[in-house]
A and B are shown apart, each in its own frame.
Chain A
Amino acid sequence: QRFTSGTFCGTVELGEQYLCDALSKCTRRFINQRVGGFTMVVTHRVPLILLACGSFNPITNQHMRLFELARDHMHGTGQYQVVGGIVSPVSDGYGKQGLALAKHRIAMAKLALQTSSWVTVDEWESQQPDWTETVETMRYHSGRILKEFRKKLEMQREPNGNPPPLSSVSPHLKLLCGADFLNSFKVPGLWLDEHVEEVVGRFGLVCVSRGNLQPEHAVHESDLLHHHRHNIFLVKEWVRNETSATEVRRALRRGLSVKYLVPDSVIDYIHQHNLYTEDSERRNEGTLLRPLIKQAQPPGKSLDD
């Protein structure tokens, strides 16, 4: 921040007031404030919603940490105000080995996020008849968010029909993921090129590092990702926490404790419904992942062509 003849330009943290229920407040364009003789000009932060797509089989503390880390990071850039988070469990049609029924995965996610003030579970994707491409899910949520925003704007119109004095911005939607996700773009047949382009280019990624995986490398090694690097936000997770759902399922199969890795309410649910046994892990064994079938491409075509 530089002081230039009496005008202070920069992003100012206005604390708690901006953090809750903030849609209308954070879209205030300019706020002039006299502070100690200087005029502060505060530029608006872009409201942002984070969407995490995945199996959530089951949801773990680490999944929920992703949201917290991403929010802190995006706030730290000074450009964004995170106003919501969405957990979107994949549908049963995905065909991944060991995938528990969507109704259970949804129920567990809801239990886990019961006490969260800003992250919610969305069932739309899990309710679709077939597996849904990530880009489809993003388009759906983006459209929904825009519609809700416009409705809200309408309701705020002044009695004489004029629009509210301050202009506002509809929340942006970005995909929240772990570093392993970036590597999935390379897997033949898993993604369509144009979909990657839309997810990364139009929407954007917030990618949290994981274990030894360095997402910077994945971005560097892919021309497509490199081209959209300004729209890929890399969040460094300093506390290595490799609580993966795979490990949690393994521990459960072996009768080992997963307490403090997964919320208690989720552990209770798992035991009540006897999810995650040796049998359940064999579900979909030998079946191809749905995206590989649905998106089957002629041989020879790859992401780097």
Chain B
Amino acid sequence: MKKTTLGVLYREKAVPLCEMQNQKVTEVVLLACGSFNPITNMHLRMFELARDHLQDTGQYNVVKGIISPVGDAYKKKGLIEASHRLEMARLATANSDWIKVDDWESLQPEWMETAKVVRHHYEELHAEDHNKDDVDTVKHGKKRRIEENHSESSRHQKRKDGPQLMLLCGADVLESFAVPNLWKQEDIAEIVGFYGLVCITRSGSDPYKFIQQSDELWTHHKNIHVVHEWITNEISATHVRRALRRGHSVRYLLPENVIDYIREQRLYSAESERKNADIVLAPLQRYTSASSSS
């Protein structure tokens, strides 16, 4: 327990200041999509950083984190089977009380656009929420709806009651919006406009500049939460795979139970890195053939 200057007791699972002051607090669920090939401490840190940041604004209460590993159909070079990546993520979050792993995306037969994944989880969340507080809906629903009509964030579409779902990512994902044929413009608009983005900066990138230079992103910049990671932590999964190939230690870069799993299953060799080497990444395949201009 830690006492703040306001005499409020903070726990590790921080109770937001705003709740004490009766301000409107939006419940948030963070969704991270990615290869998680393999999951590392850096991925896990992203969740912790994002939660701290949002709680600190006083406007949000982060209630859940979801890790959604991409399906094998993504065809990224070196991407090993989803079953392994899921299991490693589960092991890594075994002792987390708020971060969970979801296999829906990985079970889809075709590669699925991130916007579709976000949409799916949003629907799921609201189906849950609806069932949960049937009694309270009438009393609180009206109040929330009125408040939301006035909020800028619902300018694009009217968000339903219940938790807000935000996409959690690194600055590299934000910058990937600019890669031709990787994203559909309407998907970017939907993610940033309707849902929201929490973006963790990595050294060497300036997300603010990137946002400022894009009209689409700038329109919704209030919906993009940039989190500065002061403790630079560049544990990339690529580096981890490289170290494993060379027989170098990856201890303390990922959770121990994940390292044990990798060793037992003999994952990540020179051979596994060559997987999909000659194949074009699924989104590029899909969009390049579909349209001639972006």
State the A residues within 8 Å of B (CB).
Answer: 61-62, 64-65, 68-69, 71-72, 115, 211, 238-244, 247-248, 251, 255-257, 259-261, 264, 267, 271, 274, 277
- Check B249 against A255 for contact (C-beta < 8 Å): no
The contact string, 1 if C-beta is below 8 Å from chain A, for chain B 170-203, is 0000000000000000000000000000000001
Interchain Cβ contacts within 8 Å, total number: 72
Interface centre among B1, B44, B252 (most CB of A within 10 A): B252
Q: Do residues A241 and B14 form an inter-chain contact, with CB atoms below 8 A?
A: no
Residue from B48, B51, B95, B203 with most neighbouring chain A CB atoms (10 Å)? B48
Task: Give the residues in chain A near B95, CB-CB below 8 Å.
Answer: 264
Known A241-B253, A277-B2; 9 more pairs at CB < 8 Å = A61-B41, A65-B253, A68-B252, A242-B233, A243-B231, A248-B231, A255-B14, A257-B48, A260-B48
Q: Are the CB atoms of A239 and B253 closer together than 8 Å? A: yes
Q: Which chain B residues in 31-81 approach chain A with CB under 8 Å?
A: 41-42, 44-45, 48-49, 51-52
Task: Report yes or no: B231 in contact with A65, Cβ–Cβ below 8 A.
Answer: no
**Distance of A141 from chain B, by nearest CB (Å):** 23
Cβ of B256 < 8 Å from any Cβ of A? yes
User: Across the interface, which residues of B come within 8 angstroms of A248, CB to CB?
Assistant: 231
Chain B hits for A72, CB < 8 A: 248-249
Bound together, the chains give a CA A180 to CA B123 distance in angstroms of: 51
- B208 in the interface (beta carbon within 8 A): no
Residues of chain A with a CB closer than 8 A to B44's CB:
259-260
Bound-state Cα–Cα, A251 to B233, Å: 15
CB-CB < 8 A to A261: which residues of B? 41, 45, 231, 233
Mark contacts of B236-268 with chain A using CB atoms, 8 A cut-off: 1 yes-contact digit, 0 otherwise. Answer: 100100000000110111001000000000000
Size category of the binding interface on chain B: 20 to 34
Most buried by B among A211, A241, A271, A274: A241
A211, A242, A271, A277: residue with the most chain B Cβ atoms closer than 10 Å: A242
Quote the shortest CB–CB distance from A26 to chain B (angstroms). 17
Known: A65-B251, A260-B44. A239 touches B239 (CB 8 A): yes
The reply to whether A61 and B12 contact each other, CB–CB distance below 8 Å, is: no
Enumerate chain A residues within 8 angstroms of B42, measured Cβ to Cβ: 260
A260 is contacted by which of B14, B41, B203, B234 (Cβ under 8 Å)? B41
Are A239's CB and B236's CB within 8 A?
Answer: yes
Nearest B residue to A64 via CB reads B252
Contacts of A247 in B (CB 8 A): 230-231
Chain B residue nearest to A246 (CB atoms) is: B231
Complex Cα spacing A256 to B1, Å: 12
B55–chain A nearest beta-carbon distance, Å: 9
Within the complex, the shortest CB–CB distance from A256 to chain B, in Å, comes to 5
Residue of A240, A251, A256, A259 touching B232 (CB-CB under 8 A): A240
Please report B residues at the A interface, Cβ cutoff 8 Å. Answer: 1-2, 4, 10, 12, 14, 41-42, 44-45, 48-49, 51-52, 95, 203, 230-236, 239, 248-249, 251-253, 256
With a cutoff of 8 Å between Cβ atoms, the chain A residues found around residue B251 in the complex are 64-65, 68
Contact of A242 among B12, B45, B231, B249 (CB under 8 A): B231
Closest B-chain residue to A15, C-beta based?
A: B247
Question: Contact partner of B48 among A65, A240, A259, CB < 8 A?
Answer: A259
Cβ of A243 and Cβ of B51 under 8 Å apart?
no
A69, B223: Cα distance in complex, Å: 40
Q: Which residue of B lies closest to A256 (CB)?
A: B52
Distance in angstroms between the alpha carbons of A215 and B231 in the assembled complex: 21
Contacts of A64 in B (CB 8 A): 251-252
**Smallest CB separation, A99 vs chain B (Å):** 20
Cα(A65)–Cα(B203), bound, Å: 20
Jot down 16 A-B pairs with beta carbons below 8 A, ordered by A. A61-B41, A65-B252, A68-B249, A72-B249, A239-B234, A240-B232, A240-B233, A241-B233, A241-B253, A243-B231, A257-B12, A260-B41, A267-B12, A271-B12, A274-B1, A274-B2
Residues of B within 8 A of A238 (CB): 239
Min CB distance, A74 to chain B, in Å? 12
Residue among B95, B231, B232 having the largest count of chain A Cβ atoms under 10 Å: B231
A259→B2 CA distance, assembly (Å):
17
Residues of B contacting A115 in the complex (Cβ-Cβ under 8 angstroms): 256
* Distance from A184 Cβ to chain B, minimum over Cβ atoms (Å): 22
Find chain B residues with CB under 8 A from A65 CB: 251-253
Smallest CB–CB gap between B91 and chain A, Å? Answer: 14
Provide the residues of chain A in CB contact with B52, threshold 8 Å.
Answer: 256-257
Give the distance in Å from the alpha carbon of A242 to the alpha carbon of B231 in the complex.
6
Roughly how many angstroms separate A255 CA and B236 CA in the complex, as a whole number?
A: 26
Contacts of A271 in B (CB 8 A): 1, 12
Give CA–CA (A115, B256) in the complex, Å. Answer: 9
Give the CA-CA distance A211 to B252 in the complex, in Å.
18
